[in-house]
Chains A and B, each alone.
Chain A
Amino acid sequence: MTGPTVILQSITGVDVELRVAGPGSRSYAFVIDWHIRGILALAWFFALLLLFGGLAQFTLTLPALSPLALFLVKWSPWLIYFGYHPVLEVAMRGRTPGKRMAGVRIVARTGDIPGVGALLIRNVFRLIDSLPGLYLVGLGSVMLTKHNVRIGDLAAGTLLVHDPVESEKSFATLHAATASSPLDPQLVDLAQELLDRWTELDDGARAELARTLIRRIEAATAQSQGPQDSLAQQDTEELRQRLLHLLSGGRPT
């Protein structure tokens, strides 16, 4: 299923399609960030109280603290809480720890990294998105708009897109498997995908897929590690090792 996309237009004529994140990914990223900033602010608050002796005396009455301590204890946790998004989004070029974990990032409508102004405006409009509570306006806007954006994104001209973290492994495997044998890169890709999703698949399915791929790879490379009958008797771990061995170009894994 394909959701809305945005095209990153390039002067070379080779454009890249970026998939727009839906309400699920957005909410997931937000919840992670919300927990991080909440925990950070609270931890900082209690650390300061401890530092200034407020907690040790079992008193949370702020006027008991010195003016500087009072200022820090009262305001710096709020600064962490409310400054988290604008500061990190600017510093991390449209990402936050939560967005990183959810695999999303902010981009301009052209697909480029958004400017500082756009990122700040996006955060100013949290005031509207959070109305009347629990970000209901923002969530409604995400669900109803074509590109799943909240009001802040509409104002700033930004989008949240999926940030694919395709592993470096795909290049390394391709190199290892094709450098010494005429192995079909598509076959390598399929085998790599199977290995990456190994634990997600049930036993029967992964064994069947592994056997099929091993047969095809061995036929293509004329490289066999024993009679074909043995393939049916090997358990899943042995099949995985055999597949890894073939992908490494026959070198020990």
Chain B
Amino acid sequence: MSTDAGLQAWLASRATVWQELAPLLDRLEHKRNHTTAEALSAIEMYRSLGRDLSIARRILPASRVTRALEARYAKLHSIIHRQPHNWHARLKALFRDEIPAVVRELRQPILWISLLFALSAGAGWWLVATYPDLIGLLASEDMVAGVEQGRLWTEGMLNVMPSSVVSTQILANNIMVSVAAFAVGIFFGLGTFYLIALNGLMLGGMFAFTHQHGLAGELLKFVIAHGVVELSVICLAGAAGTLLGESLIRPTHATRRESFQHATAKAGKLLVLCALLLIGCGFIEGYLSPDPDFPMLSRVVVGFGYGALMVAALTGRLFGRQPSQVPLKSYS
């Protein structure tokens, strides 16, 4: 038998095996908890398919059979190399170790962004206090008219819509603002600075405006229960956004793309916790904050209690992290 005839005979004999691959691969892909025997058999199949593909490429270069084999081989490769489905352990590692490590690395940006927010709020207060007409740039006509008539826009919020709808609307908006504060960091961090400064200006401006009409206390009463965490989360997302900007300005890897990708993966973890915290804020803002019967002291307790919970989550202690656990840098 000549070499070619031998190879052809081999090809014919293997074609049956390859035909049976598709259902086998589908089963492997959809099953989650494989036994050791199944895993070993998949690896053996991978080796064998690699050999077949190598020979098929020689006998039938650029043919449909070879392309079909390549597709099967790539699929089996992906199945073998995919991450294990250990959600519980992965979530635990994320919240207990990885997010605290990111927070620790971002301590300085968090401080700077918070300072920017506070300064912008101060500037907003000063601007509206000095030039009251500027409030038209920060608030809608209805809001301005309402405050001028001695009524906050938050009053009767629950008469218009039920708490569930208000909560969801608020949390969707807050998540959007936080995600935006993070994502616009791609503009070399300038987008994040702009968004944080704008939010600070608005907050300061609104407080100055309500103060002029004797309603600042009412606004504080509304904000205090959810605001502690909500504003902190926006600053956290902003700090994560500056990490993206910094990765482009001062790359930590061989290329800016790699550096950006690395920074996004790292900072994105913090965003998961931010989103969860904002869900809590949404509920407080939808159910507790607009309720006129909810006393101020309780609002302060809820606000700072939730704030303490946020700190515990950011340091990982809420998820069982011990203060002495090191090293945190290893997750960067």
Residues of A within 8 A of B (CB): 8, 10, 12-14, 16, 18, 63, 67-68, 70-71, 74-75, 78, 93, 107, 111-113, 115, 117-118, 120-121, 124-125, 127-128, 151, 154-157, 163-168, 170-172, 174-175, 178-179, 182-186, 189, 192-193
Contacts and interface: CB of A to CB of B under 8 A. Distances in A.
Contacts of B260: 154-155
Given A111-B74, A121-B264, A156-B261, A186 B184 contact: no
A66 to B, nearest CB: 9
A226 to B, nearest CB: 27
Contact of B50 (A12, A67, A121, A168): A12
A51 to B, nearest CB: 17
Given A151-B186, A170-B65, A178 B164 contact: no
Contacts of B308: none
A212 B7 CA distance: 25
B19 A16 contact: no
30 contacts: A10-B73, A12-B51, A14-B51, A16-B53, A16-B70, A18-B74, A70-B161, A70-B162, A70-B164, A70-B165, A71-B165, A71-B168, A93-B82, A112-B81, A112-B82, A113-B82, A121-B265, A124-B268, A128-B184, A155-B244, A155-B260, A155-B264, A156-B264, A175-B12, A178-B11, A179-B12, A182-B8, A185-B59, A186-B63, A193-B64
Contact of A154 (B65, B78, B261, B271): B261
B180 interface: yes
The 9 A-B residue pairs with the shortest CB-CB distance, nearest first, are: A166-B68, A67-B162, A175-B15, A12-B50, A178-B12, A14-B50, A155-B264, A189-B63, A170-B64
Contacts of A186: 59-60, 63
Contact of A14 (B73, B78, B271): B73
B15 A174 contact: yes
A16 B165 contact: no
Contact of B74 (A13, A16, A175): A16
Contact of A74 (B83, B165, B269): B165
Contacts of B64: 166-167, 170, 189, 192-193
Interface in B217-257: 244, 257
A156 B65 CA distance: 33
Contacts of A155: 186, 244, 260-261, 264
B332 to A, nearest CB: 15
A14 B53 contact: yes
Contacts of B18: 171
B268 A165 contact: no
Contacts of B65: 170-171, 174, 185, 189
Nearest to A68: B164
Given A8-B77, A14-B54, A67-B162, A124 B19 contact: no
A175 B19 contact: yes
B55 to A, nearest CB: 10
B164 A67 contact: yes
Contact of B11 (A12, A121, A167, A185): A185
B321 interface: no
Interface residues of B, number: 56
Nearest to A112: B81
B182 interface: yes
Interface in B1-57: 5, 8-9, 11-12, 15-16, 18-19, 22, 29, 46-47, 50-51, 53-54
A169 B212 CA distance: 79
A189 B9 CA distance: 15
A10 B59 CA distance: 21
B297 interface: no
A151 B184 CA distance: 11
Given A155-B264, A167-B68, A182 B73 contact: no
Interface string B149-182: 0000000000011111100100010000001101
A33 to B, nearest CB: 20
Contacts of A170: 64-65, 68
Nearest to A186: B60
Given A117-B268, A171-B18, 11 more contacts: A12-B50, A14-B51, A93-B29, A93-B82, A111-B77, A112-B81, A156-B264, A166-B71, A184-B8, A185-B8, A185-B59
Query: For A117, A168, A174, which residue has the most chain B Cβ atoms within 10 angstroms?
Result: A174
B67 interface: yes
Given A167-B68, A170-B64, A185-B65, A71 B11 contact: no
A16 B179 contact: no
A128 B8 contact: no
Contacts of A8: 74, 77
